[in-house]
Each structure stands twice: as structure tokens, then as C-alpha cells.
Amino acid sequence: MKIIVADKIASSGVKYLRNLEDLEVIEAYGSSSEKILELAKDAIGIIVRSETKISREVIESAPLLKAVGRAGVGVDNIDIEAASENGVVVLNTPVGNTIATAELTFTHILLGARQVAQANASMTAGRWDRKVYGGIEVLKKTLGILGLGRIGAEVTSRAQAFGMRVLAYDPFLTESRAQQLGVEALELDEVLKVADFITVHMPLTDATKNMINKDAIAKMKDGVRLFNCARGGIISQSDLIDAVESGKVAYAGLDVYENEPLAEDSPLREIHNLVLTPHLGASTHEAQESIGLEIAEALYEAVKGGVIQNAINMPSVDSKTLEVLAPYLHLGEALGNFLQQICPDRIDKLKITYFGNIIELDENPLTRSILQGYLKHISGENVNSVNAPILLKQLGVENDVVKSNEDSDYNELIVLEATDSDGKSYSVEGTLIGKAGEARIVHIHEWEVEASPEGVMLVVQNDDVPGIVGALGTVLGKDMVNIASMSLSRNAIGGLALNVVNLDTAPSEAAVKEIESLEFIKSICLVSL
């Protein structure tokens, strides 16, 4: 079996692979795309960092390829869709850089307080500008943390050790988790308004892209200090430049950028009160040793058919178990994803109940698949079936799993129920139907439906009056959106009804607002699976 190490990882990882008798290890650092394409033809595994791109062409030219391992978190340089289509497992190392990134973040915070980098540049230029580089103390200052996952939590503990007050914004953070960490959980605008220092620790998603823009910055204190060691694109670089130059933002620190490497002529390089580092989040000896060994071990387990760890695009189970579980895993992930999009951002408890034949299976991979689906739009690329339970716990959400022997209307049934802090519950139920085992949603809250959990879905609650279906069809038709299928449900004539509409394409924002404004429409939710 041939393993290609395309980008340089810690020597401990390479040594581990070389000590395995059944492997041929090719270190191909700095190889061209053409060279990687040639080497991949008979490779069973490839390890990369951020430099080498594993494209569809590479994957499809490698019939023996079983796994691609990313020594790091981000997998932007790997074609996940192509890998999935070709049965190639994509692995990453989501934990190894936690401490390194947290420490780099706090280094940026201290640099922003004391202008050490600017003073050093002045000294090396031969000047003695002692009176120019005054600073502030972090003691008793307020730090706003946007995103309280594992890195945000580590930054919190360091800030508290320096005597800082910590505020946190995380739409999925429960009050119990906030109390456990000793932070004040507030809405985004409140954190922006109060914080002296603000640091970002969120994944880059559609919801967080350019989240910190000119409008957000305008809500901040004059002289705020702003930092991003998470993902480029969360802070609008052009708006940050304007804010620093105007003095609204006193200092800023960036380790990540919208496009990397940062262009030589980037205007960011010309700003005096901005400290830039070249994506050093995981660049410590300890982190690299941990990441290098972790990805080597995980890749070997994956290619030899063992237990798969830290998989991005499939559950972490062996191939034989996967064959049996596959349709249930698809159903479970879809149900989790669907539920998260129709319930409030903050929930306290997620209950999973299995009925029928499904209780005879190993529920652990299935439960993890459900949690992965639930967290998909919350944690972005960081979530997989291995770390989903940990990420859910970090949000402070209690997870309860029940195997029920009670009778149900189906041979196998999965019931998901989310409960918020007020005790209000939101539920979805799903099953497999027919010989092909096709996934179906059969209950949403109190309504009985039959809908395919796939693609774009419109979930509409309305008064049970004539003309609703026609009104929906008219708006969607005008928007050139085709209806694939529709499930209608009511519990009583003239009561509240539910429409679940599968669409070929997503409607425009204007169309959604038009539907929402229609008479008798009580609520509308656009779900994307």
C-alpha cells in the first residue's frame, strides 16, 4: 500500500507510517499538481496540509484511493463532493490546534493592548519612540468572544486569568454552559456595544461571512480592538481597513484572510495599527507533533478498514457495519439537519428515540450521524461524526437517547425532539419505506406528513382555509421555482394546517417574504438539506 505525504508534517507522523511493514511512504513535498496526479494513480492514501490541492481529477485518477487526510482543520483544498462520490474518506484533525490557536489569539490581544510589534519595528529602525507607544492594560477590560466552542473556551480561561470580564455571543450557547465557563451570554449587538476587545471564533458559513462589517463596527465602542484567528472572511477586510484608518478601531490583529496567501500589495500591509501573522494558528511544535501523528494514525486505520476517526464525509464506522447502517445514517443526518432549521437556535435538550427493528442495531453511529446533521449549520466544516457529541456538549445541550420497545406505526422509526429553556418542544419523525429503504419524514410537530428529506423544502403553517395551495403555487411559479412534491396536513377542519413543499430550486428572498405576507400564513421556514 502506498501512502503519499504531499505536504510536510511532523516527523513523528512520517516515522509512525514508515514503521508499518505493509506501507510504502512517499514524501512528495512541494510537488507540482502534475506530479501529485501521477503519484496518486496507485496510492491508497494521501496526507496534505493546506498547500496541495486534491482535486476531482486527482481523486478520479486514483482507483485505489481510500482516504485523504488533512493535517489541520480546514479542508478547502480537498474536493469533498468528488471524494464522497468515489468512496474516499476525508479526514481532518479538529482538536490538535486548539491550545495553539487560543494562545496565538491571546498574544494578538496583548499586542493590541501594548503596541509591542510597532515598538519593535521602531527600535529595529534605529529610533527610541518611548513616548509614542503608550498602551492600555487588559485588567478589568471587557473581552467579547464571538463563538464559544473549544477555542473560544480556552481564550476565555486565559482572559479571566488576566482579570478580564468576558462576554460571549453564540446563538447556540445555553445559559448552563455560559455559567459553567463563567461568562455572560449576550446577544451580538450587546457584545459589540460593550466590549473593549472583540475576538472571533466561529466557522465560516453563509451566516457568518462578513458578519463583522461596517454596520457591526459602527455599533462598537470608539477605540475598540478587534481580532480574528478563526477563518478569513468573517471580518470584512475592506470595512476593517476603513475603521482602523478612521480611528473607530484602535488596533486589530489578523491571522487569517479572505484570500491566502495575502497579496503582496494588499492595503492591509500598509496599516500601522494592524498586526498581521501568516496563518500561524497551529504553528507550534506541540500542535504540529500532535496533528502529524494524529492524521497518520487516522489515515492508516481508514485505509486498512479499521475504525474511522475524524471523518468529514462519512460516519466513523467500519465498512461492514456501514453497509447495514447506511440508509439509517442518511435518514438520521437529514432529520437532525431538518430539526435544527425548524426550531430555535438555542435549545436545552435534544432527545432521540428509536422504535421498532432499529433498536437491534448499534445506535452509536446513528446517534452521531443525527448530531452531525443537527450541527451542520452551526459548526460548519468543523463537525463530523466523531466530534459531534463533544460540540453539542460544548453548546450546553443535553442529549438523551432512548431505545423504546413500545409499538409504533412503522417497522422502524426515529423521533427527534428539541426542548428550549421555556419547555416548548419541537419534533420531527422519520422512517424508511419500501424495499429500497427511501427516507421519509412522517411527522413534524403534531402534524402527520409524508415528505422526502432532501434538497430545498418549504415548511409553511397556515390557517386551514381554501386557496392556500394555489397562493403558494402562484408565488413560486412567478419566481420560476418548480414544486417537486407537496404534503398537506391538518388536525381539524378550519384549524392550523401544515404544508411541506419539496422544491427543485431555492426561492428568492423576495418570494419567501411575499409568501410570509400572505393572509392566513402563520409561519414559513425555508429548509436546505
Which of these is catalytic: 175, 187, 260, 360? 260
Residue where a domain stops, chosen among 246, 276, 306? 276
Residue 185 C-alpha from the chain's centroid: 20
Claim to verify: residue 57 and residue 174 sit in the same structural domain: no
- Whole-angstrom CA distances from 438 to 87, 358, 373, 515 are 21, 15, 18, 30
For 322, the grid coordinates are: 456501514
Whole-angstrom distance, CA of residue 390 vs CA of residue 377: 16
Residue 103 lies in a domain: yes
Average pLDDT per run of 10 along the chain, which is 529 residues long? 95 94 93 95 95 95 94 88 86 88 97 95 94 94 95 97 97 91 96 98 90 98 97 96 97 96 96 95 91 93 81 70 82 96 94 93 88 89 72 91 91 95 94 90 94 95 92 95 94 90 95 93 94
CB 462 within 8 A of CB 496: yes
Are 77 and 155 members of one domain? no
Same domain, 242 and 179: yes
Same domain flag for 128 and 263: yes
344: Cβ contacts below 8 Å, ≥ 6 apart: 420, 426
DSSP 493: T
- Domain assignment present for residue 428? The answer is no
- Residue type for position 144: G
**Residue 316: its pLDDT value, please?**
63
Q: Could you tell me if residue 263 is inside a domain?
A: yes
Residue 309, pLDDT score: 77
Task: Check residue 39 and give its pLDDT.
Answer: 96
Which residues are CB-neighbours of 510 under 8 A, at least 6 positions away?
479
Set of cell numbers at residue 54: 486534491
Told to judge if 406 belongs to the known catalytic residues of this protein, a careful annotator would answer no
Pairing type for strands 89-91 and 67-70 reads parallel
Which structural domain range is residue 248 located in? 98-276
DSSP 261-317: SPPTT-GGGG-TTEEE-SS-TT-SHHHHHHHHHHHHHHHHHHHTTS---SBSSS-SS
Q: What is the pLDDT of residue 323?
A: 74
Residues linked to residue 57 through DSSP beta bridges, in sequence order: none
Asked if residue 266 and residue 158 are part of one domain, the reply reads: yes
For residues 240 and 130, membership in a common domain is answered with yes
Q: pTM (2 decimals)?
A: 0.77
CA dihedral 363, 367, 368, 374 (to 10 degrees): 170
Annotated catalytic residue, options 201, 231, 377, 440 = 231
Provide the pLDDT for residue 467: 92
Concerning whether 231 is annotated as a catalytic residue, the answer is: yes
- Residue 231 resides in a domain: yes
The whole-angstrom separation of Cα 329 and Cα 315 is 8
Same domain, 299 and 193: no
Q: Last residue of some domain: 276, 300, 327? A: 276
Same domain, 54 and 108: no
Query: Distance between the two ends of the chain, CA-based, in angstroms?
Result: 37
Residue 90's closest CA among 100, 80, 103, 102? 80
- How many domains in the chain? 2
- Say which of 108, 177, 201, 279 is annotated catalytic: 279
CA angle 499, 331, 432 (to 5 degrees): 80
CATH number for the domain including 54? 3.40.50.720
Q: Evaluate whether 170 touches 378 at the Cβ level (below 8 Å).
A: no
Same-domain pairing of 53 and 184: no
- Cβ(413)–Cβ(354) under 8 Å? yes
Cα–Cα dist 372/352, whole Å: 13
Q: Evaluate whether residue 512 is within a structural domain.
A: no
pLDDT at 382: 65
**Side chain identity at 362, as an amino acid letter?**
D
Q: What is the sign, positive or negative, of the torsion defined by CA atoms of 329, 330, 331, 336?
A: positive
Q: Which residues pair with 179 in a beta bridge?
A: none
Residues 271 and 287 occupy one common structural domain: no
Which 3-state string (H, E, C) describes 151-216? HHHHHHHHHHHCCCEEEEECCCCCHHHHHHHCCEECCHHHHHHHCCEEEECCCCCCCCCCCECHHH
Residue 469 domain-assigned (yes or no): no
Contacts of 483 (CB under 8 A, 6+ apart): 473, 476, 501, 502, 503, 504
Quickly list H helices, 49-164. Answer: 56-60, 80-85, 98-114, 116-124, 150-161
**CA–CA distance, 493 with 20 (Å, rounded to integer):** 69
Domain membership flag for residue 494: no
Give the Cα separation of 178 and 43 in Å (integer): 47
Q: Say how far apart CA 466 and CA 522 lie, in whole Å.
A: 15
Residues 271 and 292 in one domain: no
Q: Is 260 a catalytic residue?
A: yes
Asked whether residue 335 is domain-assigned, the answer is no
Same domain, 262 and 167: yes
Name the packing angle between helices 116-124 and 98-114 (round to 10°): 70
How many other CB atoms are there within 10 angstroms of residue 518's CB atom?
16
- What is the spatial distance between Cα 298 and Cα 17, in angstroms, rounded to a whole number? 11
Q: What is the pLDDT of residue 36?
A: 96
